[in-house]
């Protein structure tokens, strides 16, 4: 799980409770007061502590029978080994660059990945797997993240991240039982969600 913020903090308990036996959490941020309204695994007493570590402790209390590893730093291009070592990768950090990076590393290592993003009024999640189906770059162009509004600047309704992360958790656990179609994109708007099957884009150069 890359990111233990709005998406990760609400997704992780579902995975641990479902008995997913080995979870690695990568996040370099610390808990802030403003997180507490929507990242419900964190408490007042956790303010200032590393999110990855607090998340690990929470999951261990929830399910002591699983193994949880905290990586207390930001995900980066040197983390190809972490991606290759995972059975499934989830990207839910606040870094746009990470979403494209996870896309590329997961395709290269042939690992399934859920890549999710949130804005004030819209969120999305995409499931990618294998180079013969659509990837994140088949849908989105990598742009300079500094031109985009941020949740910190725009605000976000506190309940919205959990809507997206519950759907990702459900899709992920379902995938363990019956493999999902790669190239599925879920789009969340104020009061509804739709899912779209994306075709591989001609000219996308990330498919080996």
**Site residues (vs Zn ion, CB under 5 A):** 135, 137-138, 204, 206
Q: Whose Cβ is closer to Zn ion: residue 60's or residue 140's?
A: 140
Q: Which residue is nearest to Zn ion (CB)?
A: 204
> Considering the complex, what minimum distance in angstroms separates the CB of residue 92 from Zn ion?
20
> Considering the complex, what minimum distance in angstroms separates the CB of residue 200 from Zn ion?
6
Per-residue three-class SS string for the chain: CECCCCCHHHHHHHHHHCCCCEEEEECCCECCHHHCCCCCCCCHHHCCCEHHHHHHHHHHHHCCCCEEEEECCCCCCCCHHHHHHCCCEEECCCCHHHHHHHHHHHHHHCCCEEEEEECCCCEEEEEECCCCCCCHHHHCCCCCHHHCCCHHHHCCCCCHHHHHHHHHHHHHHHHHHCCCCCCEEEEEECCEEEEEECCCCCCCCCCC
> Considering the complex, what minimum distance in angstroms separates the CB of residue 6 from Zn ion?
26
Q: Whose Cβ is closer to Zn ion: residue 103's or residue 167's?
A: 103
Q: Whose Cβ is closer to Zn ion: residue 65's or residue 199's?
A: 199
Q: Whose Cβ is closer to Zn ion: residue 36's or residue 204's?
A: 204
> Considering the complex, what minimum distance in angstroms separates the CB of residue 130 from Zn ion?
11
């Amino acid at each position: 799980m890359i990111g233990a913020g709005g998406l990760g903090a609400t997704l992780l308990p579902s995975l641990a409770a479902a008995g997913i036996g080995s979870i690695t959490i990568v996040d370099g941020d610390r808990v802030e007061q403003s997180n507490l309204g929507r990242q419900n695994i964190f408490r007042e007493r956790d303010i200032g502590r590393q999110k990855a570590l607090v998340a690990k402790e929470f999951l261990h209390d929830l399910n002591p029978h699983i193994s949880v590893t905290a990586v207390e730093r930001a995900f980066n291009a040197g983390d190809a080994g972490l991606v290759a070592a995972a059975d499934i990768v989830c990207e839910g950090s606040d870094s746009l660059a990470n979403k494209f990076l996870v896309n590329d590393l997961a395709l290269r290592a042939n690992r399934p990945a859920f890549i999710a993003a949130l804005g004030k009024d819209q969120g999305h999640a995409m499931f990618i797997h294998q180079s013969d189906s659509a990837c994140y770059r088949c849908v989105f162009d990598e742009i300079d993240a500094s031109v985009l509004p941020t949740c910190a600047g725009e605000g976000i309704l506190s309940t919205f991240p959990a809507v997206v992360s519950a759907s990702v958790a459900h899709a992920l656990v379902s995938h363990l039982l019956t493999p999902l179609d790669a190239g599925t994109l879920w789009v969340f708007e104020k009061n509804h969600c739709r899912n779209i099957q994306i075709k591989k884009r001609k000219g996308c150069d990330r498919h080996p």
